[in-house]
Amino acid sequence: MNYGFLIDNSSCIGCHACSTACKSENEVPLGVHRTWVKYVETGRYPDSRRSFQVTRCNHCMNPPCVRICPTGSMYQKDNGIVEFDSDACIGCKACMQACPYDAIHLDPETKTASKCHFCSHRVEVGLEPACVVVCPEHAILAGDLDDPESEIAKKIAKNNVTVRKPEQGTAPKLFYIEGGEIHLSPTAHERTPQMHMFGDVVPLHGGDHVHSDPPVDPKPTGGVAANAHTAVRTPQSQGSPDGGPVQFGGRMAGHMVQVGFNAQHRVQWHWPIAAYIVTKHIAGGIFLFLAATVVGWPAAFSPLAMVSAGALALLMTQITLALLLYDLDRPDRFFYLLVRPQWRSWVARAAWILTGFAALSTVWWGIEAAAWMGWLAPSVAELLRPVLALLTAPFALMTTIYTAFLFAQAEGRDLWQSSHVPLQMAVHAAVFGTAPFVALAPLLDLPAPLVEAATWGFGGALVISLLVTLVADLGIAHASEIAQRAARDITHGRYTLSFWGGGIVLGHIVPFALLISGVPALGTAAFFATALGLFAYSNAFVMAPQDIPNS
């Protein structure tokens, strides 16, 4: 048993019966969609044509949303249907980032992930999905793809069918008859006006929120919206920005393409994710540097440095956990990550990594602080120090780089799949692990070997980080058009100021200049400049791939 859908675009009349039947059958709230109809218009008036495409979950054979879900809320049944359990969802929105088709949304009432589930409650009792039953043109078929005698299998065998984004490797089971690239590719058009034929478009930036679906602004202001690839028939929105044919996928469409209606695309992860990347790099980097001094250069270790910088690291760890909790739409279920983890997910692994790091670093810091304040014999701290350093270091390292592997599982955002991300995060950890000691040197009586090691480490890490950033963002050809678009948005588009002004100048050049000035008092300024600059860069890296719609 292997259920799938077949949509005949040549028969669909765009009546929205499937959409309304889905809402009625599954009690889908207003403002979100499990099934929707995309209107695509080609040509110039009067030689124009409108066609329709029914869009929903692809029930992939290789579903990335299932792998990334940290609690098993998204799961695949034996019959091939990708189902969800809202009672297990913590609202982390990772499944939405993993879906290359924009098929998953956040239910505004339950604050949990939701999508088409093949009307599994009907299928289990021998009924067809509601959208299939209600379609007046029999343009939607559902059935067992493994049964050669089923209607859907016969029709697929007789027709030339296509799927959306086969290059993603998800093996989607939503097939289209006459599903051309201008219909299935979300980048087959360039311009997005402020309104579509049925209503206004919600601004992507400034009106969207982390914890709720944004309300529609009844009085949109000027400019071109960028969050829903929809269009109206106006001279300003015809085709490409210069009025010529639209180019996509490296080819020319050969005629005008615009989308008249589509479901809203929304950004799900915002500034808290970028902020937590910085805070965890500071926390993990500090303890990595302390562990390195214990193991590689014991003379550079300082109990005072451990107490002061270690306290900063523990504070950053708590802020990291607070930011992650804040970003969950069901924070009351945070403990599900620990009591019912789905171990293939890097979100679940991250929860345990952070927990282990927080526990070990707190114990190590507590012992060192107790010895420094005279509550514990210094010999005890010296005896336990190498063991605690070796135990803490692996958790500190994984704390700094696990987000790279989490991003790699978010297969709906191609730029995050880049191979340089783990290296870049490790280098950033080296920057943030050494910078606090440079900042503290003018304020505390730290040993010279420690200050020397931190200064050289900070400077060297800044240089390496700058080179990695420039090569990764300017010198590497990305694997897909979507990744290339997001990368260009960072370096030459919407996030240009964040990249050049924040990431390059404030995050690297300014602190390096302050460092080589030789003025110890400027070390604190160098640390804050680095933190602000790399936050701006991280925010661009988090946001830019999400701006590009997947449907």
CB-CB contact of 457 with 434 (8 Å): yes
Give burial (CB, 10 Å; 0-12/13-18/19+) of 304: middle
pLDDT in tens, 7-63: 999 899 999 999 999 999 999 998 899 999 988 888 877 788 888 889 999 999 999
User: Residue range 152-179: average pLDDT?
Assistant: 94
Range name among 171-180, 200-209, 243-252, 361-370 with the lowest pLDDT average: 243-252
The three-state secondary structure class of 42 is strand
Look at 133 and 184; give whichever has higher pLDDT: 133
What confidence score (pLDDT) does residue 194 get?
A: 58
Write the pLDDT tens digit of every residue in 251-265.
334 447 777 778 777
Contact 357, 81 (CB under 8 A): no
Model pLDDT for residues 51-104, shown as the tens digit of each residue: 888 999 999 999 999 999 999 999 999 999 999 999 999 999 999 999 999 999
Contacts 24+ apart (CB under 8 A), 400-403: 400/280, 400/281, 400/284, 400/285, 400/288, 400/425, 400/426, 400/428, 400/429, 401/425, 401/426, 401/429, 402/346, 402/349, 402/350, 402/353, 403/277, 403/280, 403/350
- Beta bridge partners of residue 199, listed in sequence order: 196
Residue among 97, 94, 117 nearest 35 (CA): 117
Are the beta carbons of 425 and 401 closer than 8 angstroms?
yes
304 and 436 Cβ atoms separated by less than 8 Å: no
At 472, which helix (H) or strand (E)?
Answer: none
Dihedral sign computed on CA atoms, order 549, 409, 184, 19: negative
**Which domains are delineated in the chain?**
3-61+122-261 (3.30.70.20), 271-547 (1.20.1630.10)
pLDDT at 225: 29
pLDDT grade, residue 211 (50/70/90)?
A: very low
Report whether 335 contacts 377 (CB < 8 A). no
Is residue 68 a contact partner of residue 78, using CB atoms and an 8 Å limit?
Answer: no
**Residue 398, pLDDT score:** 97
pLDDT of the residue at 216: 34
Higher pLDDT pick, 479 / 347: 347
268-326 confidence digits (pLDDT tens): 899 999 999 999 999 999 999 999 999 988 888 999 999 999 999 999 999 999 999 99
**Residue 525 — pLDDT band, cuts 50, 70, 90?**
very high
Q: What is the pTM of this model?
A: 0.86
pLDDT at 170: 96
CB atoms within 10 A of CB 464: 16
For 330-338, what is the mean pLDDT?
Answer: 95
113 or 254: which leads in pLDDT: 113
- pLDDT greater than 70 at residue 193: no
**Token code pair at residue 382:** 């010296």
pLDDT class of 232 with cuts at 50, 70, 90: very low
Query: For residue 217, is pLDDT > 60?
Result: no
Q: CA 515, CA 428: separation in Å to the nearest integer?
A: 17
Residue 151 is encoded by which pair of tokens?
């209607």
Interval 175-184 mean pLDDT: 85
| pLDDT number for residue 179 | 83
| 159 backbone dihedrals φ, ψ, rounded to 5° | -125, 155
Compare 112 and 192 and report the one with higher pLDDT: 112
Q: Chain-wide mean pLDDT for the chain? A: 87
Q: What is the mean pLDDT of residues 493-510?
A: 96
CB-count exposure of residue 535 (10 Å: 0-12, 13-18, 19+): buried
Residue matched to tokens 């003025």:
519
What number is the average pLDDT over the span 502-520?
95
Q: Mean pLDDT, to the nearest integer, of 529-545?
A: 96
Return the pLDDT at 245: 40
Q: Which residue type is seen at 504?
A: I
Q: What is the pLDDT of residue 551?
A: 83
pLDDT at position 478 is 84
